[in-house]
Amino acid sequence: MTRGRFITLEGGEGVGKSTQIRALAAALEARGVEVVATREPGGSAGAEAIRTLLMEGSDDRWDARSEALLFAAARADHVARLIRPALERGAWVLCDRFVDSSRAYQGGGGGITDADLLMLHGFGSEGLLPDRTFLLTVSAAEAARRLTERGGSDRMGNKPADYQARLAARFVEMAEAEPARWRIVDADVAASDVTAAILADLAEWLP
């Protein structure tokens, strides 16, 4: 059986990842592809329990090291119980965030080294990486408008402006350093145009 494809969407708050996951899942299913749409932190029972610890409470509830360990633990359960089994049976996995979010949030934002984060990922998730990662980018004004429209952000989205700036810079830095895996997509345009751009990039793998 042919292994499925693992596709992740990354970016800051309000860039439209959830909207694109839904649109891509519908488009792939229309082509006869089995799709598993999931998110991080979360996606499995154990990971969803850890998500509650991570996403609720005050901004300073956890320091960067504690966050990194919790995210790595959630991801390990998610990979073992949902992602790997789906890929092995030939499904496409569409994930809203993965290890690159830890590399940006706890790395670029929190100051943990990339080597330490990837070491945790190597142990917890056996180093699994996506086949393709799409970085969705929007202007700060558009992101703020979308967050207001959806009723605000969670604990991670409420971190201060300097943290958010480091986060955005780290995402772009990673994307530019690994061009074979990453694609940067302008998400200031209509959602349907973003979906079309992503599907065009994936065309070589589509049935």
Structure confidence at residue 179 as a pLDDT band (50, 70, 90): very high
CA-to-CA dists, residue 2 to 26, 83, 92, 113, 193, angstroms: 21, 15, 11, 35, 30
Q: Which of 17, 31, 166, 148 is nearest to 105 (CA)?
A: 166
**pTM beyond 0.85, yes or no:** yes
**pLDDT for 123:** 98
- For 205, residues 6+ apart whose C-beta sits below 8 A from its C-beta are 5, 131
Across the range 145-152, mean pLDDT stands at 61
Q: Which of 167, 130, 170, 154 is nearest to 12 (CA)?
A: 167
Evaluate if residue 159 carries a pLDDT over 70.
Answer: no
Tell whether the torsion through CA atoms of 190, 192, 150 and 134 is positive or negative. Answer: negative
**pLDDT for 86:** 98
**pLDDT for 1:** 66
**pLDDT for 111:** 87
**pLDDT for 114:** 95
Kindly report, residue by residue over 45-70, the tens digit of the pLDDT.
999 999 999 988 887 889 889 999 99
Across the range 125-130, mean pLDDT stands at 98
Across the range 86-104, mean pLDDT stands at 97
Q: Say how far apart CA 137 and CA 47 lie, in whole Å.
A: 27
- DSSP-assigned letter for residue 205: G
Return the percent helix, strand and coil in the chain, to nearest 5: 55, 15, 30
Structure confidence at residue 165 as a pLDDT band (50, 70, 90): confident
Q: Say how far apart CA 47 and CA 117 lie, in whole Å.
A: 18
What dihedral do alpha carbons 27, 28, 32, 36 form, nearest 10°? -130
Q: Do you know the residue count of the chain?
A: 207
3-state SS, residue 133: strand
**pLDDT for 192:** 97
What residue segments make up the domains of the chain, in order of their start? 6-205
Tell me what percent of the residues of the chain surpass a pLDDT of 90.
72
**pLDDT for 177:** 97
Looking at domain 6-205, its CATH superfamily turns out to be P-loop containing nucleotide triphosphate hydrolases (3.40.50.300)
Evaluate if residue 131 carries a pLDDT over 80.
Answer: yes
Tell me what percent of the residues of the chain surpass a pLDDT of 70.
89
